Amino acid sequence: MAVVEKLNVGIVGAAGRGASFKSALEASGRARVHAVCDIKQDAIDEAAKRLGASEKYTDYDEMIEKSKLDAVVVGTPMPLHVPQSIAAIERGMHVMSEVPAGVSVEECRRLVRACKKSKAVYMMAENYTYMRPNVLVRALVKQGLFGEVYYGEGEYLHELKGLNEITKWRRKWQTGINGCTYPTHSIGPLLQWFEGQRAVKACCAGSGHHYRDPRGDEYENEDSVVMLCKMSRGGLLKIRVDMLSERPHAMTNYSVQGTLGGYESARGGPGDVNKVWLRTLHGDPPVWHNLDELAEQYMPEMWRKPSEEALRAGHGGGDYFEVQDWLGAIFGKQPCPVGIHEAMDMTLPGLVSQQSILQDGAWLDVPDSREW
């Protein structure tokens, strides 16, 4: 039997989110967790044991310098994604980075340049694009069943004031800056449904400030921020991100409209389901149908007989499938679905929205990373 080549993977942020990548990496049979890194001295031993790593580090530079790694998973707080990704890419190591790709347009530009110079595969871990309903809607769009898609909505409503105080970086990078600081879970699936398009202009406004942190300080981010994006072929996206308002979580609210039909995801209410109406399949008059009724005929292969690991994986299976696609791209099976430019398409509008909200909601250009 042929010996399967295994990649040695290092996970940074191993005592936090980074740990969630282990089972998907190992389920592939093509990768092993070789080294782990976290600055938490008191947690690194336990993390190494739990993740079965042979090496452990509390300094990232030391890990990528000393350890014989083929690839790195970056699961650290947002401002570390770019510097840690670049450091690995410059050493020829493949990178899977948590979302968003970066926290400023300038550092994103540096990341794109590093990727362009390297053969390493960079992927942003946009796991919501792999959720079962999102994958099915994408397949329906691809079949042309929505006609021309021209409007989409995505919402990430996740009250995290308590979590802010535990993972303190969130207080600064998610709720301490005004604008869409965490948009990729909302815009990611929509961009795949608007295939071949990107946001070319963005503007942003907020709902004001109604909450204070435990120190009595107002959050710099407004409670609900709404970003509008004009798409390259003229369509419109509306993205709402709210990490402060007191309400049940709803991180996977989506809708899409095309010339031949529409989709509205379940918004979490009792009995609510994902709903679709497609003129060519359902006919007139327009009445909602359960999206699931179309699964048997249109669901792509990946979600037909998902493995136990996929079903157990977090974020509706997204944490499993994204890793398989990253490894597939590394081994030349298929192109990387959320490579550097798709990562930029999902990240840059949010960074531009942070400029727009400072300029009273002005429409601003979103840079095209393909030109960098």
Ligand X SMILES: NC(=O)c1ccc[n+]([C@@H]2O[C@H](COP(=O)([O-])OP(=O)(O)OC[C@H]3O[C@@H](n4cnc5c(N)ncnc54)[C@H](O)[C@@H]3O)[C@@H](O)[C@H]2O)c1
Taking the complex as a whole, the smallest distance from the CB of residue 365 to ligand X amounts, in Å, to: 26
| Closest to ligand X by CB, 127 or 221 | 127
SS (H, E, C) 231-269: ECCCCEEEEEEECCCCCCCEEEEEEEEECCEEEECCCCC
Question: Which one of 37, 88, 145, 310 is in contact with ligand X (CB under 6 A)?
Answer: 37
CA distance 326 to 351: 25
Taking the complex as a whole, the smallest distance from the CB of residue 92 to ligand X amounts, in Å, to: 21
Q: Which stretch binds ligand X (CB under 6 A): 3-11, 72-80, 107-115, 149-157?
A: 72-80
**Does 40 interact with ligand X (rule: CB under 6 A)?**
yes
Cβ contacts of 207 within 8 Å, gap of 6 or more: 222, 223, 224, 225, 226
In the shown chain, the binding pattern of residues 311 to 330 toward ligand X, with x for contact by CB under 6 A and - for none, equals: ----x---------------
Report DSSP letters for 12-26, one per residue: ESTTTGGGGGHHHHH
In the shown chain, the binding pattern of residues 75 to 114 toward ligand X, with x for contact by CB under 6 A and - for none, equals: xxxx-x-----------------xx---------------
Contact predicate 298/136, CB 8 Å: yes
Q: Which long-range contacts (CB under 8 A, 24 or more apart) does 294-297 make?
A: 294/136, 294/140, 295/136
| Nearest alpha carbon to residue 91 among 69, 62, 116, 123 | 69
Taking the complex as a whole, the smallest distance from the CB of residue 95 to ligand X amounts, in Å, to: 14
CA distance 84 to 76: 9
| Closest to ligand X by CB, 72 or 149 | 72
**Does 38 interact with ligand X (rule: CB under 6 A)?**
yes
| Closest to ligand X by CB, 220 or 368 | 220
CA distance 253 to 250: 6
**Does 12 interact with ligand X (rule: CB under 6 A)?**
yes
Question: Which one of 21, 60, 156, 254 is in contact with ligand X (CB under 6 A)?
Answer: 60
Cβ atoms within 10 Å, residue 218: 11
Taking the complex as a whole, the smallest distance from the CB of residue 292 to ligand X amounts, in Å, to: 23
Distance, C-alpha 35 to centroid of its chain = 24
H or E stretch including 343? helix 340-358
Taking the complex as a whole, the smallest distance from the CB of residue 238 to ligand X amounts, in Å, to: 21
**Does 167 interact with ligand X (rule: CB under 6 A)?**
yes
List of residues contacting ligand X (CB under 6 A) = 12-13, 15-17, 37-40, 60, 75-78, 80, 98-99, 125, 127, 167, 315
